[in-house]
Structure 1
């Protein structure tokens, strides 16, 4: 993998993480732009590293390695991070959206690290719509906790 390709993949992941965390940051949620950018970039870094290691080992004749196992481990690890962000009190659960957004940042980072830029673009697009537009629309849904009525 060329150096410029690595820079592009990590840069796309970082930019996507920044964008995904912007809404959280503007609303004063603790998991903001830095958290999302770091999660997305580190996920891309691990994915790129796994793919590079796979290519190196395959070239050396050790084709029995599986880079998808690294992604599986990353998905499990980010699940623990996201779960740690969730706070349960007697009457409510808090930070579920932040946890889901962190999970999305990791998924976007994995896709960016794998060079799946169409998937990154679509994922970020839907993610931004969900955390911004849907939040605004929730206010107009009768009976919604977010609504005024």
Structure 2
């Protein structure tokens, strides 16, 4: 059995690595999405998992011909295309109120963009960046509103009712 597993890991090392990268990207996006689900936001775990997975797939598709070593130019162009395209998806979650003054959904749009970035890092095999980026994103989504409210109160920029309304997203 060990001999067979050893042969399998040597023979299909690239495919195993790509599969791990795809799963890593998906999990990172899903973790961010769970936070959005908990807060009843329109984009959740499945959507952000798919965004991250899609980004990783696009990055890895360039590696089919060159092994798992990427040319800097090609990666740069692919990343630019991913992030530009995701801007449109994120823009779809931004809504303006009927009076034209209230904008909602910016944080949700940002989570779409960050899920794509996490997919890119997982696709490139940058595991530390993927994990650290996921953790920092979760910290910001979980505690960012409280911190922002506290800073607004400390610096007295506006009254707390206006600040609370502005931080609904």
Q: TM class by shorter-chain length?
A: 0.7 to 0.9
> Are positions 1:86 and 2:77 aligned together?
no
Q: What's the counterpart of residue 6 of structure 2?
A: none
1:146 Cα deviation from its structure 2 partner = 2.3
Structure 2 unaligned spans of 5+: 1-12, 154-158
TM-score, with normalisation over the residues of structure 1?
Answer: 0.84
CA distance in 2, matches of 1:136, 1:7: 38
- What RMSD over aligned residues (CA atoms) do the two structures have, in Å? 2.1
Q: Whose radius of gyration is greater, 1 or 2?
A: 2
In the comparison of the two structures, how many residue pairs are matched?
Answer: 140
1:61-140 equivalences under 5 Å are: 66-89=74-97, 90-140=100-150
Structure 1 unaligned spans of 5+: none
Contact 1:86 1:99 (C-alpha < 8 Å) held by counterparts: yes
1:22 Cα deviation from its structure 2 partner = 1.1
TM-score, with normalisation over the residues of structure 2?
Answer: 0.75
Contact 1:79 1:103 (C-alpha < 8 Å) held by counterparts: yes
CA distance in 2, matches of 1:137, 1:66: 39
Q: What's the counterpart of residue 33 of structure 2?
A: 21
